[in-house]
């Protein structure tokens, strides 16, 4: 089976053993396969083998018992494992003043700041996205571990999104008063031949969550109009601008700003026409069949005022935790990030909060490198986490409060700027041709290298012994806390080697847990 749109030949792929071209309908099979057979580039026996493999797979698949009803698997042991994995993946980048772990340090108030604080960014976008049974945000995970008497000062500090967040289910209800939306589908009369178009009305009552200006956004594959109280507010039908939604099939997110009053009810309606009505013709991308749409909403905030309020909270609090980063809308498939920068509202927020509370604990979140240079030197305590699943908030809190000693290591390097990335000079294509010219000799210093990660304790290495086939060493915990360390073995190539190899390559690693101080351990690499 091919990757989606990863097939670029007919005869060659058939002869090489590719049974199934994905996604359907095939682009390079069908008539092209007939031509390959008639021109004797592919034999009929090869076609028979490809077809036989697909039919055998179908026969195996239909024998798998499938429950007629969907169910969830949300067991205590799963939650426990997910929490452990979330904590073990956290990487401690800086702890210069020894502020972490917070442990049982006495404090009366804590400021929790940042747009990622109440957002459970638990997964990436596209094929990496999932519908979770539940999620735990950093805010929830931290607050759950605080004593009741600790005052919590929360401020978002900024909005940071690539696309407007989807309208919360808590804010909408059907016209009959039930939670959610009501959708009604229509289609053309049966008398019309080869009908491909259908229609849908999506209706709900929106209960405004606050008083102020709210921005709405509508993206669609197909066409759609958005109404509020029967007034057309977004028209996305006659003139459409291409965007990244729905693997490139969709439009840009068309936006409008509307003033709402808290608890007042507004009638929302989207009139949708299926994918056949799209004005955007983009052959070669994933086909969404009937079409798709996305409606988002977010309250507009004054960024300068939001930063001022965040600074005031940081100055009042005994402890400040600032949580910022990316989400699945920034890191997905089907498009590239345009640069390495965080959303433009975040660097000023970080700088202002760090100046107001120098001992701030900075928590960043992403699945790829981003530019830290504007504030990297001024931050004393820095923790990085990833899109680590349902238990994101609990795992992070376990590390911050010391229930878990951080032992994560970076699986990538954080460059100082985008110009230092290996592909910078060769990024993009020239008439469909891409040059892979980065090679293996980068020769650029990085801010944080691959394999980097600190701990709340320290470790000693001794008695290193190297033979032709193995490496042995002794390790011990020389600090005051239990913890785990990952030993990494890098090997440099023979200077007389005729094939170019990296200056050093990771050839092995293992993690060792030390339960107590001076706990010795000996490990062998072979």
158-190 tens-digit pLDDT: 999 888 888 888 889 988 888 889 999 988 765
Domain stop point among 299, 323, 348: 299
Assess if residue 433 is contained within a domain.
Answer: no
**434 pLDDT tier (thresholds 50, 70, 90):** confident
Do 201 and 261 lie in one domain? The reply is: yes
Nearest to 145 by CA among 403, 454, 383, 345: 403
**287 pLDDT tier (thresholds 50, 70, 90):** low
Assess if residue 523 is contained within a domain.
Answer: no
Average pLDDT over residues 380-405: 97
Q: What does the pLDDT look like over 105-164, one tens digit per residue?
A: 889 999 999 999 999 999 998 888 888 889 999 999 999 999 999 999 999 999 998 888
Q: Is 486 exposed, middle or buried (0-12, 13-18, 19+ CB in 10 A)?
A: middle
Give me the CATH number covering residue 241. 2.60.120.260
| Alpha-carbon gap, residue 327 to 114, rounded angstroms | 13
Average pLDDT over residues 5-24: 91
Assess if residue 431 is contained within a domain.
Answer: no
Do 294 and 190 lie in one domain? The reply is: yes
Nearest to 473 by CA among 483, 485, 490, 460: 460
Do 288 and 189 lie in one domain? The reply is: yes
Q: How many domains does the chain have?
A: 4
Question: Which of 66-80, 143-157, 249-263, 296-310 shows the lowest mean pLDDT across its residues?
Answer: 66-80
Average pLDDT over all residues of the chain: 90
Q: What does the pLDDT look like over 454-513, one tens digit per residue?
A: 999 999 888 888 888 888 888 888 888 999 999 999 999 888 888 888 889 999 999 989
Do 228 and 320 lie in one domain? The reply is: no
* 19: containing domain: 10-62
Do 18 and 94 lie in one domain? The reply is: no
Kindly list the catalytic residues. 3
Average pLDDT over residues 418-422: 89
* Cα–Cα distances in angstroms (integers) from residue 245 to residues 164, 218, 303, 333, 497, in the given order: 12, 11, 27, 10, 48
Q: What are phi and psi of 504, to 5 degrees?
A: -150, 150
**523 pLDDT tier (thresholds 50, 70, 90):** low
HEC-encoded secondary structure of 192-217: CCCCCCEEEEEEEEEECCCCEEEEEE
Quote the radius of gyration of the chain (alpha carbons, Å).
28
| Alpha-carbon gap, residue 320 to 314, rounded angstroms | 6
| Alpha-carbon gap, residue 308 to 302, rounded angstroms | 10
Angle at 362 between CA 117 and CA 366, to 5 degrees: 65
Do 259 and 294 lie in one domain? The reply is: yes
User: With contact defined as beta carbons under 8 Å apart, do 37 and 44 qualify?
Assistant: yes
Q: Give 510 or 284, the one with higher predicted confidence.
A: 510
């Amino acid at each position: 089976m091919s990757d989606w749109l990863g097939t670029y030949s007919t005869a060659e792929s058939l002869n090489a053993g590719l049974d199934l071209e994905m996604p359907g309908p095939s682009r390079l099979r069908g008539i092209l396969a007939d031509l390959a057979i008639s021109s004797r580039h592919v034999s009929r026996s090869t076609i028979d083998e490809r077809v036989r493999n697909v039919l055998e797979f179908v026969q195996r698949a239909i024998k798998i018992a499938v429950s007629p009803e969907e169910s969830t698997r949300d067991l205590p042991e799963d939650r426990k494992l997910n929490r452990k994995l979330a904590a073990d993946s956290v990487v401690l980048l800086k702890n210069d003043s020894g502020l972490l772990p917070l442990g049982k340090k006495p404090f009366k108030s804590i400021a929790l700041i940042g747009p990622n604080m109440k957002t459970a960014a638990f997964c990436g976008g596209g094929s990496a996205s999932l519908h979770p049974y539940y999620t735990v945000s950093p805010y929830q995970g931290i607050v759950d571990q605080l004593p009741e008497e600790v005052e919590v000062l929360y401020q978002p500090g900024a909005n940071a999104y690539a696309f407007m967040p989807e309208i919360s289910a808590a804010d909408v209800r059907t016209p009959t008063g039930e939670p959610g939306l009501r959708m009604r589908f229509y289609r053309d009369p049966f008398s019309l031949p080869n009908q491909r178009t259908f229609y849908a009305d999506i209706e709900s009552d929106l209960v405004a969550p606050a008083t102020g200006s709210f921005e709405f956004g509508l993206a669609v594959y197909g066409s759609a109009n958005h109404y509020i109280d029967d007034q057309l507010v977004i028209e996305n039908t006659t003139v459409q601008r291409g965007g990244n939604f729905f693997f490139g099939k969709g439009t840009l997110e068309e936006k409008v700003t509307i003033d709402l009053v808290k608890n007042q009810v507004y009638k929302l309606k989207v009139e949708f026409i299926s994918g056949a009505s799209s004005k955007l013709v983009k052959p070669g991308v994933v086909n969404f069949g009937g079409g798709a749409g996305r409606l988002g909403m977010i309250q507009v905030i004054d960024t300068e005022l939001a930063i001022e309020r965040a600074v005031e909270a940081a100055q009042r609090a005994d402890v400040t935790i600032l949580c910022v980063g990316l989400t699945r809308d920034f890191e997905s498939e089907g498009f590239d990030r345009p640069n390495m920068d965080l959303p433009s509202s975040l660097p000023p927020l970080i700088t202002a909060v760090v100046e107001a509370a120098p001992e701030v604990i900075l928590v960043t979140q992403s699945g790829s490198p981003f530019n830290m240079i504007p504030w990297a030197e001024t931050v004393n305590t820095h923790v990085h986490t990833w899109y680590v699943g349902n238990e994101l908030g609990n795992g992070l809190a376990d590390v911050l409060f010391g229930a878990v000693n951080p032992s994560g290591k970076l699986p990538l390097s954080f460059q100082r700027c985008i110009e230092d990335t290996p592909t910078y000079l060769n990024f993009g294509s020239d008439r469909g041709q891409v040059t892979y010219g980065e090679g293996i000799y980068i020769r650029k210093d990085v801010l944080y290298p691959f394999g980097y990660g600190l701990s709340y304790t320290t470790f000693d290495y001794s008695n290193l012994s190297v033979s032709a086939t193995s490496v042995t060493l002794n390790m011990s915990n020389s600090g005051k806390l239990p913890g785990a360390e990952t030993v990494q073995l890098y090997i440099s190539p023979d200077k007389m080697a005729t094939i170019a190899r990296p200056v050093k390559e990771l050839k092995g690693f293992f993690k060792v847990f030390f339960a107590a101080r001076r706990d010795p351990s000996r490990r062998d690499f072979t």
